[in-house]
């Protein structure tokens, strides 16, 4: 008979935790069995002894023992007591939590292609300057409420809340395809659409099917860092291409293609992220020529297509080069980022390959939210909401430009953007920017680091200032805070 096990559970049982005490005893015993401290065949103290040692009610220990017996961890040996089941294999592991953490295979992956900037601008007091997100306060909760209610009623009646097509809700794909045909000139049907969890998910899925380790992806020297992180996660080489005031430098892109195996080029041609300029038609055509010549795909991230204030927006590149472009869109800027509704438009076989990836990761997306989004498109509410917020944002852009000129005019260089929800601010003196970044957070201002857009050390730095999510009053307060921080 094995020696009785020395009770050492005391320090692991804590009545103030949310976990019931009987469950804490159960967990601690399993952990000791798993670590080898309690080998198969060893006897446990009687329930009375353990209850006294732990200062708990005996019934609590009895409950823990009974649970463990019914699960097969312990066995009851009638008169001899309760022991660790002799059917369990002996443990190979030393009871050393530090060694255990080091040996864990998770340790190898923990920081793989790790985050190069904080996962999010932290929530908290004070004002947050985002990179161009909508003002969630402008979306009446009742609008969403009604859309979800209608979606629940319809899908329940038709028994459609089941496992289904990884490309997403048929109804939403039809609605998105119709919208892309009528408003953006894309020649697509539902078969060319895959619904995604926001455009970030779309970018990730596109990179998964395009990029293999060692392939290169070209990005502008200032760009959307989470996209770069997605490319790096595919072990692709990220090649930085020069950017000027009119967008990507196409001559430099061509030289990059001659030197690297470029399989994809990531662009935000509608409003370059972060600098906000629209890519001019001649450069778009040149990029497409290069795509045909070097055999790369363009990942066209059209994250804020709905917001263009001074003129009609240029049609997406996907409208005239559907075979070369994987088009990425989203409802995050028009409705809310938290809905996580985005979409990809691409040739059918590309969409099928992407849908296969979806089936490997989350299986099928969020059917209920997709149906609610389809409801909003079909009943015209999305279009009405777009009209309303476009007017509000256009006016916020004007008042922001005035406030910017009066608060920061002498120290920043900027252009009023034709569209989108953000300004790009470049500081005449880098020292001003450094002072702002060092002192503004203590004054209650939260924003992304100016380095988070740069793909190399020498790239210009600046602040991307989302104006749409702030009321004019809040925006002026944020600008004043920046001015004070600049000293």
Ligand X SMILES: Cc1ncc(COP(=O)(O)O)c(C=O)c1O
Q: Is the Cβ of residue 131 or residue 371 nearer to ligand X in the bound state?
A: 131
Distance separating alpha carbons of residues 485 and 432, to the nearest angstrom: 8
Residue nearest ligand X, CB atom distance: 198
* Cβ atoms 333, 200 nearer than 8 A: no
Helix (H) or strand (E) holding 108: helix 105-109
Q: How far is the CB of 353 from ligand X (least distance, A)?
A: 20
Q: Is the Cβ of residue 240 or residue 330 nearer to ligand X in the bound state?
A: 330
Q: How far is the CB of 131 from ligand X (least distance, A)?
A: 6
Q: How far is the CB of 430 from ligand X (least distance, A)?
A: 24
Q: How far is the CB of 220 from ligand X (least distance, A)?
A: 11
Q: Is the Cβ of residue 44 or residue 219 nearer to ligand X in the bound state?
A: 219
Residue 125 DSSP symbol? S
Q: How far is the CB of 439 from ligand X (least distance, A)?
A: 26
Phi-psi region of 247 (alpha: psi -120 to 50; beta: other; left: phi over 0): left
Helix (H) or strand (E) holding 65: helix 58-71
* Cβ atoms 218, 262 nearer than 8 A: yes
Question: At CA 457, angle to CA 208 and CA 231, rounded to 5?
Answer: 0
Torsion on CA atoms 63, 68, 71, 74, rounded to nearest 10: -140
Q: Is the Cβ of residue 273 or residue 393 nearer to ligand X in the bound state?
A: 273
Six-digit token pair at 35?
């670590």
- Binding residues vs ligand X (CB under 6 A): 131, 198-200, 224, 268, 273, 301, 303, 330, 332, 337, 342
Q: Is the Cβ of residue 339 or residue 436 nearer to ligand X in the bound state?
A: 339
Q: Is the Cβ of residue 205 or residue 481 nearer to ligand X in the bound state?
A: 205
Q: How far is the CB of 178 from ligand X (least distance, A)?
A: 20
β-pair type (342-345, 243-244): unpaired
Residues β-bridged to residue 240: 219
Give the count of beta carbons closer than 10 Å to the beta carbon of residue 79: 4
Residue 278 DSSP symbol? P
Q: How far is the CB of 250 from ligand X (least distance, A)?
A: 20
Q: Is the Cβ of residue 304 or residue 371 nearer to ligand X in the bound state?
A: 304
Residue 3 DSSP symbol? P
Q: Is 127 helix (H, G, I), strand (E, B) or coil?
A: strand
Q: How far is the CB of 306 from ligand X (least distance, A)?
A: 12
Q: Is the Cβ of residue 26 or residue 332 nearer to ligand X in the bound state?
A: 332
Q: Is the dihedral of CA 366, 369, 375, 376 positive or negative?
A: negative
Distance separating alpha carbons of residues 179 and 24, to the nearest angstrom: 55
């Amino acid at each position: 008979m094995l020696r009785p096990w020395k009770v050492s559970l005391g320090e692991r049982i804590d009545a103030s935790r949310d976990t019931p005490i009987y469950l804490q005893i159960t967990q601690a015993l399993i952990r000791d069995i798993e670590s080898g401290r309690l080998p198969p065949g060893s006897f446990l103290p009687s329930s009375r002894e353990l209850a006294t040692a732990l200062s708990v009610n005996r019934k609590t220990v009895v409950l823990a023992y009974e649970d463990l017996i019914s699960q097969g961890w312990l066995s009851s040996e009638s008169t001899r007591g309760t022991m660790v089941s002799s059917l369990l294999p002996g443990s190979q592991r030393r009871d050393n939590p530090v060694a255990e953490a080091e040996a864990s295979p998770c340790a190898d992956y923990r920081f793989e292609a790790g985050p190069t900037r904080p996962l999010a601008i932290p929530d908290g007091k004070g004002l947050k300057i985002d990179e161009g997100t909508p003002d969630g306060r402008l979306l009446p909760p009742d609008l969403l409420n009604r859309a979800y209610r209608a979606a629940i009623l319809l899908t329940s009646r038709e028994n459609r809340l089941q496992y289904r097509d990884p490309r997403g809700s048929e109804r939403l794909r039809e609605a998105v395809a119709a919208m892309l045909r009528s408003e953006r000139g894309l020649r697509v049907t539902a078969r060319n659409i895959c619904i995604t969890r926001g455009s970030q998910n779309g970018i990730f899925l596109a990179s998964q099917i395009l990029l293999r380790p060692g392939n290169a992806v070209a990005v502008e020297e200032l760009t959307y860092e989470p996209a770069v992180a997605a490319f790096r996660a595919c072990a692709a080489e990220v090649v930085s291409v020069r950017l000027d005031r009119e967008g990507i430098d196409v001559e430099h892109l061509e030289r990059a293609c001659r030197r690297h195996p470029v399989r994809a080029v990531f662009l935000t041609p509608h409003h370059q992220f972060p600098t906000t300029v629209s890519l001019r038609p001649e450069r778009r055509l040149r990029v497409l020529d290069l795509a045909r010549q070097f055999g790369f795909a363009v990942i066209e991230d059209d994250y804020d297509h709905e917001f263009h204030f001074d003129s009609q927006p240029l049609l997406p590149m996907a409208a005239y080069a559907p075979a070369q472009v994987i088009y990425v869109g989203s409802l995050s800027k028009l409705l809310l980022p938290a809905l996580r509704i985005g979409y990809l438009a691409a040739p059918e076989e590309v969409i099928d390959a992407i849908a296969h990836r979806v089936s490997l990761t989350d299986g099928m997306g969020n059917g209920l939210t997709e149906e609610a989004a389809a409801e909003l498109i079909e009943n015209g509410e999305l279009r009405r909401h777009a009209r309303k917020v476009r007017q509000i944002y256009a006016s916020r852009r004007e008042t922001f430009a005035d406030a910017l000129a009066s608060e920061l005019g002498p120290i920043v260089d900027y252009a009023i953007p034709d569209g989108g929800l953000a300004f790009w601010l470049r500081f005449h003196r880098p020292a001003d920017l450094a002072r702002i970044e060092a002192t503004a957070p203590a004054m209650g201002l939260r924003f992304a680091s100016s380095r988070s857009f740069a793909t190399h050390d020498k790239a210009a730095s600046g602040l991307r200032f989302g104006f749409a999510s702030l009321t004019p009053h809040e925006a002026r307060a944020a600008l004043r805070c920046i001015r004070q921080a600049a000293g």
